[in-house]
Amino acid sequence: MKLYHFPISPNSRRVIATLHHLAIACELKPVDLVKGEQLQDDYLKLNPNHMIPVLVDDDFVLWESNAIMHYLCSKVPSTPLFPADPKTRADVTRWQFWQTGHFGRACGIFIFEHIIKPALNLGEPDANELAKGTDYFHRFAKVLEGHLQGRDWLVGDETTLADLSVGSFLDLADMAHYPMAGYHEIQRWYGAIEQLPCWQSSRPGKLS
């Protein structure tokens, strides 16, 4: 198997953390988004959306990080990362959709204004966008904060794909200036994710 990725991307990192947690061997192929390698013809044949990550397993090509994580879990007989019980599995999936549809989008505004714009020389952060992003972030961060009261993990008593997916965006909290003040439960929970061996081994600087 091969995974096309960009090391700093939360969407890549959660897939790599899943690979490491499941001890699945996979060749990592970096795609330099700053140089625009995702726009090259060969890459567009893999993912016409010109995005990472993409998994290639023989002749099967799969894009969308959360779908890749589900597929990887289906490669092992069973895993607490994606429990087989239908309600628990639906709960994990629910948080992954929530991340893609809401929390990740809120974080994405800050990532674009504070990380992508400077990296690509696209100008100063836009105050109106950041104001919209702040409202959107608080709307969903409050939901996450409330859910984490009295819980170690988002679903059940063990780490699941839900934690890796939702947590992945918090890695960039400082660099992207998310308005994190007061979100003590989120910070406690993300602190626990940071201690996971699969999270530590998937840090951008640790990848070979």
Interface with ligand GSH (CB under 6 A):
6, 9, 11, 33, 38, 50-53, 64-66, 100
Q: How far is the CB of 87 from ligand GSH (least distance, A)?
A: 24
If we measure between CA atoms, which residue out of 4, 1, 17, 5 comes closest to residue 171?
A: 17
Q: In this complex, which beta carbon is closest to ligand GSH, that of residue 156 or of residue 204?
A: 204
Residue among 33 and 144 whose Cβ is closer to ligand GSH: 33
Check: CB of residue 61 under 8 Å from CB of residue 54: yes
Q: What is the closest distance, in whole angstroms, from the C-beta atom of residue 149 to ligand GSH in the complex?
A: 28
Give DSSP secondary structure letters for 185-199. HHHHHHHHHHHSHHH
Residue closer to ligand GSH by CB (options 45, 87) is 45
For ligand GSH, give the closer residue by CB, 6 or 199. Answer: 6
Rounded to a whole number of angstroms, the minimum distance from the CB of residue 48 to ligand GSH is 11
> 53 or 83: whose CB is closer to ligand GSH?
53
Instruction: For residues 11 and 8, give the distance between their C-alpha atoms in angstroms, rounded to a whole number.
Output: 9
Tokens of 76: 């092992």
Peptide bond into 7 cis (omega under 30): no
| Minimum CB–partner distance for residue 67 and ligand GSH (Å) | 8
Min CB(54)–ligand GSH separation in Å: 8
- What single string gives the DSSP state of each residue in 31-84? --TTTTGGGSHHHHHH-TT--S-EEEETTEEEESHHHHHHHHHTTSS--TTS-S
The order of strands in the sheet holding 27-30 is 27-30, 2-5, 54-57, 60-63
Name the DSSP letter for residue 115: I
